[in-house]
Amino acid sequence: MLNRRFQMLMDKDTWNKIVKSAKTQNISAGEYIRRAVDKYFEANKGSPEEKRGMPFRGLFKPK
């Protein structure tokens, strides 16, 4: 059910990158997304002026 909901929100290429990255870390896509959201909220604890930039930088590393 989670996969179907996220597939409607994201384009196919982005979804495939998430699934591929999750498989390389041996976790589910849902867990991968949860960790990305946790990382985003952890990075944005300070004031908005201090924390500017891409919240998910570094998750999709080219090989």
Kindly report the pTM of this predicted structure: 0.56
Dump pLDDT digits (tens) for 1-56: 456 666 667 778 888 888 899 999 999 988 998 898 888 888 877 655 555 565 66
Closest CA to 59 of 12, 48, 29: 29
Among 3, 10, 8, 2, CA closest to 56: 10
